């Protein structure tokens, strides 16, 4: 969901930057389809996830990324631990730049469509702040 939402936001922003957006997961298996609830939650707002296939995050991808946006603080800790990334690696929470107390975005995997919708909406809310960060820092 995050990849499609970010791509849409980037497209609508009119940014002239050449940015490649893709999602990869710490525990994802290469080639898996998006969950039915992810597909449904995105379809409800006009985004198509039918052809999406998951990718496992690799050391090379993590080391070469200009920025990584993750959902939870535990994801950030695991990225540093698994890939031995420097402390100042550009890894941020998706909601890190919002002026809100709760910066975490709980993973909806395996939960109800309502949980997926809430996650989608919270991701969507974070996109403008991520785009602002990208425009200023990349």
Strand ranges, E, within 8-113: 68-70, 91-93
> Residue 56, SS3?
strand
Rounded CA gap, 119 and 129, in Å?
16
Domain that holds residue 110: 2-137
- When divided into structural domains, the chain yields a total of 1
Q: What is the pTM of this model?
A: 0.93
Strand ranges, E, within the chain: 68-70, 91-93
Q: What pLDDT shows up at residue 86?
A: 92
Average pLDDT score over residue span 58-84: 95
Q: What number of helices (H) and strands (E) belong to the chain?
A: 5, 2
Rounded CA gap, 116 and 103, in Å?
17
For residue 16, pLDDT beyond 90: no
Q: What is the CATH number of the domain that holds 129?
A: 3.40.50.2300
H/E run at residue 43: helix 36-43
Per-residue pLDDT of 108-129, as tens digits, reads 999 999 999 999 999 999 999 9
Rounded CA gap, 92 and 70, in Å?
6
């Amino acid at each position: 969901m995050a990849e499609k939402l970010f791509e849409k936001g980037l497209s609508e922003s009119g940014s002239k930057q050449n940015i490649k957006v893709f999602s990869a997961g710490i525990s994802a298996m290469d080639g898996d389809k998006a969950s039915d609830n992810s597909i449904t939650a995105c379809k409800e707002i006009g985004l198509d996830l039918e052809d999406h296939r998951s990718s496992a995050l690799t050391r090379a991808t993590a080391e070469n990324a200009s920025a990584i946006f993750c959902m939870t603080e535990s994801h950030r800790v695991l990225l540093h631990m698994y890939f031995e990334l420097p402390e100042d690696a550009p890894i941020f929470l998706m909601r890190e730049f919002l002026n809100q107390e709760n910066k975490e975005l709980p993973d909806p995997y395996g939960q109800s469509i309502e949980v997926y919708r809430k996650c989608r909406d919270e991701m969507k809310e974070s996109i403008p702040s991520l785009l602002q960060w990208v425009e200023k820092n990349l």
